Amino acid sequence: MRPRINVRIHGSITSIDVPALIDSGCDISVIPDSIAEAIGLDMKGEESELQAYRETTKVIRSKVAVTFMSRANRENVTLIIPILIALSSKDHEDEQEIVLGIAGIFDGFDITFKKSQNKIILKRVSNIMDY
Amino acid sequence: MDYSNYDYFMKKNFDNYSGKWIAIINKEVVASGDNAGNLIKKVKKEYPSKVPFITKIRNKLSIL
């Protein structure tokens, strides 16, 4: 099973809870454009390209507020992180899930994966970078 | 914000929604569809005060 955590993604229109994939192989977090548009993220940012395994996806640079919730002490932590909005195309109609990459996430938490216990531990670090 | 919908998703079998996006509110699938954005808009219209749990039910192996 992939390492996912339950997070709340906040937009100007609405918020949603999602099982986001934590991916240390991804430089920055990524969200499909259909979700970004539906919840009301700013899509007027700089256009760029995201290089994946064998393909390139057009993206828009943006930011999003993400709330992380601890099971242990019910502490909510909300970070504003940089994000790439992946633009859909005829070649990439299959919408991917939301991926939490290094920028903003791995700067804000020390992350431990405990596969045998089916746990992911996020320990907040003091010098969180606010993007 | 709590884990009730997430835990419901993790424990239940959703193979009958294979390949679809689903929206869960109060541990119940309230909507499904092929497009996540349209699903979110539909749920927002029908349940304006709720925060839905949105996910895709994968039907194949993938690499990012």
pLDDT at A52 over 50: yes
The whole-number pLDDT of residue A130 equals 45
Position with higher pLDDT, B60 vs A59:
A59
Cβ of A76 and B55 within 8 Å?
Answer: no
Q: Which residues touch A66 (CB under 8 Å, ≥6 apart)?
A: A7, A8, A9, A10, A20, A29, A78, A79, A80, A81, A100
Q: How far is A126 from chain B (nearest CA, A)?
A: 24
Looking at the DSSP assignment, which residues form a beta bridge with residue A63?
A82
B63 interfacial to chain A (CB closer than 8 Å): yes
Superfamily (CATH) of domain A4-124: Acid Proteases (2.40.70.10)
State the pLDDT at residue B3: 85
Measured torsion, CA atoms of residues A99, A104, A105, A108, in degrees rounded to the nearest 10: -170
Q: State how far the Cα of B24 lies from the Cα of A107, in Å rounded to an integer.
A: 31
pLDDT digit string (tens) for A76-127? 889 999 999 999 876 555 667 899 999 988 888 888 888 888 888 888 886 5
Q: Give the domain ranges of chain A.
A: 4-124
Contact status, residue B56 vs residue B39, Cβ threshold 8 Å: no
Residue A73 has pLDDT above 70, yes or no: no
ipTM metric: 0.91
Kind plus residue range of the DSSP H or E element containing B36: helix B36-46
Percent of chain A as helix, strand, coil, to the nearest 5: 10, 50, 45
* CB proximity A88 to B under 8 Å: no
Across the interface, which of A32, A95, A99 has its CB nearest the CB of B64?
A99
Whether A6 contacts chain B with CB within 8 A: yes
- Cα-Cα-Cα-Cα torsion B55, A11, A22, B47, nearest 10 degrees, comes to -30
Which residues on adjacent β-strands are paired with residue B21?
Answer: B33, B56
Q: Nearest CA to A5 among A128, A129, A118? A: A118
CA distance A35 to A22: 18
Task: Please give the residue that has the higher pLDDT: either A110 or B28.
Answer: B28
Residue A52 forms contact with B (CB below 8 Å) = yes
- Is the pLDDT confidence value at A131 over 60? no
Q: Amino acid letter at A86?
A: A
